[in-house]
Structure 1
Amino acid sequence: MTMDHAHGRLIVWFSLLVGLLFELMPVPDIVLPFRPDWLLLILIYWSMALPHRYNILTAFVMGTLLDVLLGAHLGIRSLAYSLAIYLIVLNFQRLRTYSFLQQTVLVGIVLCIYHLIVFWLQFLLEHATFSAELLWPTVSSMILWRWVFWVLRRIRRRYKVR
């Protein structure tokens, strides 16, 4: 492995760490229902850009790490992240050719699927109740997708991450 490849991997893992920190960062109660899924957005980008390197295993590891840090039932986000990233990796070539609006809608659908899987698993384990607030993070994440895509793409091109 050359130094450039190692450098690129460090950049990707650093961006995933930043996404993990954004997930854990405290926010005011009024903003909490709208908190975007930072880590999942970053995972979606890297899975679209480099699906041969960052895919379902990366999503599983990051989901497990998030479950541990949140103190949630182990495996809930691991499974949900893995299924969401599976859908992205399965269609990454199509997603790359879509217009930005189409990409945003499909990312929103994947985010909805993620939230519904997390709700379903929490319902099975904790008897959670469904509310419309469950899908507000999807809306805020869709709004931020363009910005996240732009920033990570610039980072990938500037540092020649492959």
Structure 2
Amino acid sequence: MTLEHAHGRLVVWCSLLIGLLFELMPVPDVVMPFRPDWLLLIMIYWAMALPHRYNILTAFVIGTLLDVLLGAHLGIRSLAYSLVIYLIVINFQRLRTFPVLQQSVIIGLVLCCYHLIVFWVQFLLDRPPFSFELLLPALSGMILWRWIYWVLRRLRRRYKVK
């Protein structure tokens, strides 16, 4: 492995670490329902940009790590992350050709799927009540997608991540 490849991988894993820190960072109760899924958005970008390198296995490992750090039932987010990234990976060529505005709408739908999968599995385990507040992070993630896409694309081009 050359030094350039090592720098590329370091950039990706640092961005995922920053996303993990944003996931764990405490926020006020007023903002909590709108908290975007930072780690999933960053993982979606890397799965779209480099699907041969960052794919379902990476999503499973990151989801398991997030389950452990959040103290949730082990496997809920790893299952949801894996299914979402699978959807992204099998459609990455189509998604890359769409303008960023259309991508953000599709990303919003994918985030809704993620939250519904997480709710469904939690419903099977704990029977929590359904609330449409559950889908607010998908709305904020859809709005932030353009910014996340721009930042990560600049990083990818600057550091020649391949």
Q: What amino acid sits opposite 1:149 in the alignment?
A: Y
CA distance in 2, matches of 1:128, 1:92: 34
Q: Please, which runs of 5 or more residues in structure 2 have no aligned partner?
A: none
2:15 alignment partner in structure 1? 15
Structure 2 contact 16–43 (Cα < 8 Å) conserved:
yes
Give the count of matched residue pairs: 162
Q: What aligned pairs does 1:28-107 form with structure 2 within 5 A after superposition?
A: 28-107=28-107
TM, length-normalised to structure 1: 0.99
CA distance in 2, matches of 1:92, 1:129: 34
Structure 2 contact 101–146 (Cα < 8 Å) conserved:
no
Task: Please state how far the C-alpha of 1:137 moved relative to its aligned partner.
Answer: 0.2
Describe the SS at the equivalent of 1:114: helix
Provide runs of 4+ in structure 1 moved above 6 Å.
none
Superposed CA RMSD in Å reads 0.5
TM, length-normalised to structure 2: 0.99
CA distance in 1, matches of 2:45, 2:91: 13
1:126 alignment partner in structure 2? 126
CA distance in 2, matches of 1:10, 1:101: 29
1:150 alignment partner in structure 2? 150
